[in-house]
Amino acid sequence: MIKKIILIAILLLIIFCKNVYTQSILYPPEPPKIELFDAYIVNDEKKWSINNVHDPSIIKAHNGWYYIYSTDVKAYGIPRPGIQIRKSKDLINWQFVGYVFDNDKYVFKGIPQEAFEWSRASTLWAPDVKFFNNKYYLYYSASTFGKNQSYIGLATSANPEGPWKDEGLVIKSKQGDPVNAIDPCLIFDENGDTWLSYGSFWTGIYLIKIDKRNGKPAEKGFGVNIARRKGTVSGAIEGSYIIYNPKFKKYYLFVSYDSLSSDYNVRVARSDRITGPYVDYNGNVMTDLTLPPDEVGTKILGGYKFKNDDGWIAPGHNSVLVDGDDWYIVHHARPALNKNWMYLHIRRIIWTDDGWPVVSPERYAGEKIQEIPQSLIIGVWERIVLDPYVKIQAESQEINLLNNGYIEGDNKRGIWEFLSPNTLKIKWIVDEKQQKYESETVKILPAWDFENWKPTLVFTGLSGKGIAIWGKRIK
């Protein structure tokens, strides 16, 4: 009898331990708390971390540090020109390094002479940094707002912190040209050849072949037009960034739509060839002017607001970091409470099973991708729909994932199914009798809840119509 009791106890202990093990996941640690709107550090660059970051370009250098290069901006002050540099060991804690052009030899301090003489720019914009030929290549923009008398230049260095040598003109545009020569992004195709995407407003985004020997165009002209928008929105498309994903054997074009200070948002499309055509989730070509301008491009990031926070607006002009098996989107955003401030955001990119990038609803805090047990899915979540037609902040609504597989929400009912690893399928009931549903497929990952300041679970994915869906468990 005693042996039987002991055996039962051991069995129960094994079951208990197994249950505890499957319930436990590794959440990110508490990140540093950044005070927003800190007027005391406006004129103290040494204390700048993620503030005053606009149009960030990221690279992981050979010394193990991550570096970000960004547009010359300054909240409530006149920015110093020269391209800002920051670095980090963990993508979370950032320190200000200095400037690319940090000397007095230029006509206008921080702006190379040729770039200044062509554009009359007072600051430099939207850099992009890549490493090849055993040195760092930094492409930069010189222009004035609303004009296409613009200039893309190149600087090189053996060290990510400089000193940098200005290599002069890459491509320029003038009034009457169909393009605006700003916002460069260097791309390596699957064969190792180099290309430059660039452009803003006017007739959109262009792609031109680059001579890998010197980083300059390998052909005359402006290249091929790969994305544009209708004149009814003043051609508001810019900030291109192209990556190649060898798993899906496709090129992905990221662009930013609309006004950089109010309703900026990031869209994505993909192609089998680097020169296009680039098509969105619904098969719309990025150069199609016959469709409504907000219908083209799969929106994966926009202004948003979870409960207990004012939220963020105008996230955009991204770069992408591929670090081993980990993918990140790097962009700026503005606090909804005061859009005059700009901050760096880094988020994990998760890939859908059919090869589309979606992004975490929370900023990166060191979380690891890991298997999530189904039992942790049950509970109350905040859900956000990033509707491509909505210009204002997308606000969250509560939904309850019940233990019986049903979902209750505001005037909505649905069913959910968990597919390991980490995939949640949601079907919103349109007509239960005729079994009509609207589906969403999302991926679950741990995250830091910046609004409630605690660890939690989040999800990100796409609906059957290609609309980005975010979620965050709150209880």
Q: Which residues are catalytic?
A: 55, 238
Beta bridge partners of 268: 254, 298
Strands, sheet with 326-335, edge to edge from the N-terminal-most edge strand: 357-359, 343-351, 326-335, 312-323, 304-305, 394-395
Place of tokens 């509560």: 398
The amino acid that residue 269 corresponds to is A
Query: Are residues 203 and 217 in contact, defined by beta-carbon separation less than 8 angstroms?
Result: no
Please return the burial class of 398, using the count of CB atoms within 10 Å of its CB with bins 0-12, 13-18 and 19+.
Answer: middle
State whether the Cα torsion 280-286-291-297 is positive or negative. Answer: positive
- 84 by DSSP, 3-state: which? strand
- Strand intervals (E) in 56-189: 57-60, 66-70, 84-88, 95-99, 124-132, 135-142, 150-157, 165-173, 185-188
Q: How far apart are CA 176 and CA 153, in angstroms?
A: 20
Q: What are phi and psi of 7, to 5 degrees?
A: -60, -45
Query: Are residues 180 and 201 in contact, defined by beta-carbon separation less than 8 angstroms?
Result: yes
Please return the burial class of 339, using the count of CB atoms within 10 Å of its CB with bins 0-12, 13-18 and 19+.
Answer: middle
* Residue 457 CB coordination number (10 Å): 21
Beta bridge partners of 443: 423, 460
Using alpha carbons, select from 402, 387, 384 the residue that is nearest to residue 442: 384
Q: Around 302, how many Cα atoms within 13 Å sit in the side-chain half-sphere?
A: 28
DSSP per-residue codes, 415-461? EEEEETTTEEEEEEEEETTTTEEEEEEEEEEEEEETTTTEEEEEEEE
Query: Are residues 28 and 367 in contact, defined by beta-carbon separation less than 8 angstroms?
Result: yes
Q: How far apart are CA 299 and CA 442, in angstroms?
A: 15
